[in-house]
């Protein structure tokens, strides 16, 4: 047995080696002295040669114990039986020295190995001599049993001491306990010692029978046995190797399984092992927490049971792709249903694994709870697509839905759908008069009613302001859309109780029905909007279905708008002056300035066609300013050029936009300043609705205007809201009775009574009255009977351009007469003397 010292760990290792070497040297020395050289001769030399050169190279390995012995032990035992103890000691040491020379060049190690052999053989010789007397005697004796016992003793003592000495060295070298080292490397070698010793005694017996050279004959036998052993050992080695590999593999697998198991159980994310049929085989703690089920409860279910029904299809198709090998692993976001019933959003990764024990395929799920992120995302999406006030979806969302419906309808033209464009009729009024808070509450209330009264599948959105849109999917025909619009209008019109206010509003609805000509969602919305405008202009609280004519009309409006903006710079506007006449005297009291537009292509355009557009676009402000300046300048000129008994006045119409403009007072003062017109000659006409939109603000403005001497008239009186209730509070000078009442004076009593009431009311309040639209003599007579002070109408004069008006004035100044058109209509004696004529 050889020991190679390479690294020494224990400090005793080297001293121990040296001590053994020293003892060995002494033993060798004494053995060398005692050996009977004469008896040894050639046979001993031959045996030594075979032992050192051949036998020591034949090594038997113990695979599992990482140790080996050489056949040379047999020969050393043989030499002991044949040539006595000292010869064996010398041969053993020599063989050991040569054998260790082949594996190490370290002198100490070589010496130790030789000495260890010398020592153990010495002790063996000593022990045998003590027990059996002379070794050679027993060996040559005829008692085979004695020889067997001695052989066994020889083997055991040799084994015990030789392996003992070397085991101590090994233990010191590796710093391991001696017994453990011994057990690990040397226990099994006892067998080779025994077989070696028995082989030696057999050979010895053979030599005894046949003569020493029979020993040479054993060499081929030994060689055959050896090579048989070699082949056997090789097989054993490879199977041992395989067994070891398998064992190591098993250990590794167990280890990795262990690792996997703890990684699985302790993972901060949910993990699950799932059978191909969907049963949960194993789930970890994190997953139990994510969905609220215990591991036992999980094992009673399959994964479909806790998956959100809407997500199952997609998930299964992904899993199939993994099972078919088209995907190595798949990842997706989906919803589970928590044990409590709420949704849990998870990011799930699925891959396929083979179970190491059963070899069957399983799915492994890795599951992360992403509910918080999903909620945040959904919140963001919600905010992007919803209106914060009413909670309804917004325009972006609606346009997306519209696009979707259009795409579906284009696939299948039998799928008809429509959109409703809804605008509240009185919203601005409520918002401006009661306040934005109430306005907001009203919008929320409307939104709720719209949602409540839609059919399933219909979609409502708030576009902004008081505009709402509704998408009616899958309608049979246009009448179904009309039916829905009517129902909505009924519900919207019901009163709202908003805090201390009870208010109501109506809605105008435009309806656009999809057809294949529509390319873009925007076009459909635009047409519904156009139809809504049409509904408004027809008198509000209506619904109108869009037709192509409206689009044309809308297009005209659009070009009108562009043209209007240019018209101011191009000076395409001019003023017409319509006389206002004193009904008592028939004399001219003043003019109303009326705007006209000389369009380069379309010719003369009347205000009814463009004033509302100008108002909407804001163009009315510069147009109005120009009108004010032009008519004031004209009146001033007339006042300077014609000496009339009555100081003429000019009435200028103000639009709501102008009246609300912060600049108004400044503008008027500047105009009066620039033209030099007496403020008392200027009358501004505003409609009732302008005043009603903001009574307080209007009153304040009127007071400021009156403070500088300008007068105010209420135009179209009688057509607006609660005309009479607020009238006494308004600091206005004149009421202009709307043309519609005057025109129909002759038709029935009711109109006559209205006119009478307005005239009397004005008289009681000390305000002047002008009757508009006087066209007939009868109307004039009626008005004169009612003591209405002033009249304006075609009966007296159509609006005149500046030149015609100048001519008329020149004529009147010359003759000091009444307005020319009245001549012959009024009997002269009807005309009051000038002196009693009331000033306007
Ligand atoms: P309005 O202020 O009520 O003006 C009177 C309208 O009645 C004028 O129409 C006039 O031509 C018409 N008229 C006068 N007498 C008779 C009659 O006996 N029979 C009939 N059938 N009609 C009569 P016009 O000039 O077309 O103006 C229409 C409306 O346009 C005006 O109604 C006024 O509201 C608005 N408007 C006119 N000029 C201006 C302006 O410079 N600024 C603003 N903001 N609005 C204006
Ligand atoms: Ca007017
Ligand atoms: Ca009027």
State the average pLDDT over residues 583-596: 94
Comparing 612-621, 667-676, 823-832, the range with the smallest average pLDDT is 823-832
Q: How far, in Å, are 408, 483, 817 from residue 417 at the CA level?
A: 10, 14, 69
Q: How many other C-beta atoms lie within 10 A of the C-beta of residue 128?
A: 23
pLDDT bracket for residue 118 (50, 70, 90)? very high
Which runs of E-coded beta strand occur in 45-123? 59-62, 67-70
Of all atoms in ligand 1, which is nearest to the CA of residue 607?
30
Q: 32 CB contacts (<8 Å, ≥6 apart)?
A: 86, 90
Of all atoms in ligand 1, which is nearest to the CA of residue 774?
18
What does the pLDDT read at residue 723? 52
Determine the Cα–Cα distance for residues 678 and 329; give it in Å rounded to an integer.
91
Determine the Cα–Cα distance for residues 72 and 634; give it in Å rounded to an integer.
147
CB 283 within 8 A of CB 292: no
Of all atoms in ligand 1, which is nearest to the CA of residue 615?
44
Query: Tokens for 446?
Result: 């409307």
Mutate to test the pocket of ligand 1, among 590, 605, 607, 682 (most ligand atoms within 8 A of CB): 607
Could you report the per-residue pLDDT of 495-522, keeping only the tens digit for each?
988 877 788 889 999 999 999 899 999 9
Q: Do the bridges between strand 768-772 and strand 734-737 make them parallel or antiparallel, or are there none, so unpaired?
A: parallel
Query: Tokens for 412?
Result: 């299948």
Which residues have their alpha-adjacent CB atom under 5 A from ion ligand 2? 653, 685, 715
Sheet holding 361-369, edge to edge: 280-283, 270-275, 361-369, 343-354, 329-337
Distance, CA 423 to ligand 3 centroid (Å)? 27
Q: Among candidates 650, 768, 780, which has minimal Cα distance to 714?
A: 768
Distance, CA 771 to ligand 1 centroid (Å)? 13
Nearest ligand to the CA of 736 is: 3
Mean per-residue pLDDT of the chain = 87
Q: Is the pLDDT of residue 1 over 50?
A: no
Distance, CA 685 to ligand 2 centroid (Å)? 6
Could you report the per-residue pLDDT of 461-489, keeping only the tens digit for each?
999 999 999 999 989 999 999 999 999 99
Could you report the per-residue pLDDT of 531-563, keeping only the tens digit for each?
999 899 888 889 999 988 888 877 887 888 889
Which residue CA neighbors atom 15 of ligand 1 most closely?
Answer: 793
Distance, CA 539 to ligand 1 centroid (Å)? 20
* DSSP secondary structure letter of residue 56: G
- Which is higher by pLDDT, 215 or 558? 558
Ligand 1 proximal residues by C-beta, below 6 Å: 578, 594-595, 606-608, 611, 620, 624, 627, 653, 655, 685, 715-716, 739, 772-775, 792-794, 799
Which residue CA neighbors atom 42 of ligand 1 most closely?
Answer: 653
State the average pLDDT over residues 210-237: 66
State the average pLDDT over residues 35-40: 76
- Nearest 5°: the CA angle 377, 383, 388 is 150
Nearest ligand to the CA of 773 is: 1
Mutate to test the pocket of ligand 1, among 594, 615, 773 (most ligand atoms within 8 A of CB): 594
Of all atoms in ligand 1, which is nearest to the CA of residue 738?
3
Could you report the per-residue pLDDT of 631-683, keeping only the tens digit for each?
999 999 999 998 777 789 999 999 999 998 889 999 999 999 999 999 999 99
For residue 267, the surrounding DSSP H or E stretch is none
Distance, CA 424 to ligand 2 centroid (Å)? 28
Distance, CA 310 to ligand 2 centroid (Å)? 66
What does the pLDDT read at residue 839? 39
Which residue CA neighbors atom 25 of ligand 1 most closely?
Answer: 594
pLDDT bracket for residue 226 (50, 70, 90)? low
Of all atoms in ligand 1, which is nearest to the CA of residue 685?
2
Of all atoms in ligand 1, which is nearest to the CA of residue 595?
38
Determine the Cα–Cα distance for residues 543 and 188; give it in Å rounded to an integer.
109
Distance, CA 595 to ligand 1 centroid (Å)? 8
Please give the backbone phi and psi of residue 239, each rounded to the nearest 5 degrees, phi first.
-70, -35
Q: Among candidates 527, 514, 540, which has minimal Cα distance to 423?
A: 540
Q: Among candidates 506, 512, 507, 505, which has minimal Cα distance to 530?
A: 512
Distance, CA 794 to ligand 2 centroid (Å)? 14
What does the pLDDT read at residue 823? 73
For residue 518, the surrounding DSSP H or E stretch is none
Could you report the per-residue pLDDT of 402-413, keeping only the tens digit for each?
999 999 998 887
CB 327 within 8 A of CB 300: no
Q: Is the pLDDT of residue 31 over 50?
A: yes
- Nearest 5°: the CA angle 22, 28, 32 is 150
Q: Is the pLDDT of residue 828 over 50?
A: no
For residue 281, the surrounding DSSP H or E stretch is strand 280-283
Please give the backbone phi and psi of residue 92, each rounded to the nearest 5 degrees, phi first.
-60, -45
Establish how many alpha carbons lie within 13 A of residue 773's alpha carbon, considering only the half-sphere containing its beta carbon: 14
Query: Tokens for 493?
Result: 């019109």
Neighbouring-strand partners of residue 282: 273
Residue entry with tokens 């015609």:
804
Q: How far, in Å, are 208, 661, 711, 822 from residue 701 at the CA level?
A: 152, 10, 12, 37
Could you report the per-residue pLDDT of 772-789, keeping only the tens digit for each?
999 999 999 999 999 999
Distance, CA 793 to ligand 3 centroid (Å)? 11
Distance, CA 772 to ligand 3 centroid (Å)? 6
């Amino acid at each position: 047995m050889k020991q190679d010292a390479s690294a020494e760990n224990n400090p005793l290792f080297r001293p121990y080696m040296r001590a053994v070497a020293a003892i060995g040297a002494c033993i060798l020395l004494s053995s060398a002295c005692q050996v009977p050289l004469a008896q040894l001769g050639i046979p001993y030399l031959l045996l030594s040669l075979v032992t050192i050169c051949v036998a020591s190279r034949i090594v038997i390995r113990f695979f599992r114990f990482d140790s080996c012995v050489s056949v040379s032990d047999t020969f050393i035992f043989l030499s002991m039986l044949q040539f006595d103890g000292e010869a064996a000691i010398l041969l053993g040491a020599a063989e050991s020295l040569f054998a260790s020379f082949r594996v190490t060049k370290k002198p100490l190690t070589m010496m130790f190995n030789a000495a260890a052999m010398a020592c153990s053989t010495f002790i063996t010789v000593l022990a045998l001599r003590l027990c059996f007397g002379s070794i050679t005697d027993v060996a040559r004796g005829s008692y085979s049993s004695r020889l067997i016992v001695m052989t066994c003793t020889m083997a055991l003592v040799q084994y015990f001491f030789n392996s003992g000495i070397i085991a101590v060295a090994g233990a010191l070298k590796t710093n391991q306990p001696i017994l453990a080292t011994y057990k690990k490397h040397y226990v099994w070698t006892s067998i080779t010692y025994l077989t070696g010793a028995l082989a030696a005694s057999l050979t010895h017996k053979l030599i005894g029978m046949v003569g020493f050279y029979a020993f040479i004959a054993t060499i081929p036998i030994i060689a055959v046995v050896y090579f048989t052993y070699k082949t056997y050992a090789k097989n054993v080695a490879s199977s041992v190797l395989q067994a070891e590999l398998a064992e190591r593999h098993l250990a590794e697998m167990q280890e990795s399984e262990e690792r996997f198991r703890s990684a699985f159980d302790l993972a901060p994310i949910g993990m699950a092992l799932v059978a191909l049929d969907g049963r949960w085989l194993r789930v970890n703690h994190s997953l139990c927490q994510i969905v609220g089920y215990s591991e036992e409860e999980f094992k009673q279910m399959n994964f479909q049971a806790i998956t959100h029904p809407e997500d199952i299809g997609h998930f299964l198709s992904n899993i199939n792709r993994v099972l078919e090998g088209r995907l190595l692993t798949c990842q997706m976001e989906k919803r589970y249903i928590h044990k409590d019933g709420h949704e849990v959003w998870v990011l799930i990764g699925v891959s396929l694994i083979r179970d190491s024990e059963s070899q069957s395929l399983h799915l492994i799920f890795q599951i992360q709870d992403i509910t918080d992120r999903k909620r945040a995302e959904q919140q963001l999406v919600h905010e992007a697509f919803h209106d914060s006030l009413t909670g309804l979806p917004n325009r972006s969302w609606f346009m997306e839905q519209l696009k979707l419906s259009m795409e579906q309808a284009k696939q299948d033209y039998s799928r008809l759908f429509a959109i409703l464009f809804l605008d509240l009729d009185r919203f601005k009024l409520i918002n401006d008069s009661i306040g934005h808070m109430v306005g907001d509450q009203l919008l929320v209330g409307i939104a709720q009613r719209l949602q409540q009264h839609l059919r399933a599948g219909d979609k409502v959105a708030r576009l902004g302001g008081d505009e709402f849109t509704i998408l009616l999917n899958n309608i049979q025909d246009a009448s179904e859309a009309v039916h829905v619009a009517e129902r909505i209008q009924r519900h919207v019109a019901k009163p709202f109780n908003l805090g201390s206010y009870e208010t109501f509003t109506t809605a105008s609805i435009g309806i656009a029905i999809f057809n294949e000509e529509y390319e873009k969602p925007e076009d459909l919305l635009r047409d519904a909007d156009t139809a809504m405008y049409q509904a408004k202009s027809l008198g509000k609280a209506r619904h109108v279905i869009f037709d192509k004519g409206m689009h044309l009309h809308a297009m005209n409006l659009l070009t009108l708008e562009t043209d209007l903006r240019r018209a101011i710079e191009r000076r395409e506007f001019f003023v017409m002056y319509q006389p206002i006449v004193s009904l008592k005297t028939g004399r001219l009291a003043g003019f109303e300035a009326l705007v006209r537009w000389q369009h380069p292509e379309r010719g003369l355009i009347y205000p009814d066609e463009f004033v509302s557009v100008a108002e909407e676009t804001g163009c009315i402000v510069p147009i109005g300013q120009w009108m004010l300046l032009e008519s004031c300048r004209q009146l001033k000129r007339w006042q300077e050029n014609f000496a009339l008994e009555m100081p003429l006045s000019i009435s200028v119409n103000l639009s709501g936009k102008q009246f609300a403009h912060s600049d108004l007072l400044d503008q008027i003062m500047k105009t009066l300043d620039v033209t030099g017109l007496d403020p008392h000659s200027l009358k501004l006409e505003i409609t009732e609705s302008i005043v009603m939109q903001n009574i307080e603000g209007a009153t304040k403005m009127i007071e400021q205007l009156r403070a500088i001497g300008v007068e105010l008239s209420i135009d179209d009186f009688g057509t607006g809201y609660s005309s009479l209730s607020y009238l006494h509070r308004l600091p206005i000078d004149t009421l202009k009775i709307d043309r519609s009442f005057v025109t129909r004076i002759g038709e029935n009593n009711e109109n006559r009574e209205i006119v009478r009431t307005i005239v009397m009311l004005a008289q009681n309040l000390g305000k002047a009255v002008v009757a508009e639209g006087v066209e007939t003599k009868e109307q004039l007579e009626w008005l004169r009977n009612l003591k209405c002070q002033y009249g304006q109408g075609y009966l007296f004069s159509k609006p005149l351009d500046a030149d015609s008006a100048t001519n008329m004035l020149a004529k009147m100044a010359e003759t000091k007469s009444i307005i020319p058109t009245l001549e012959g209509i009024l009997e002269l004696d009807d005309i009051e003397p000038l002196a009693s004529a009331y000033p306007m």
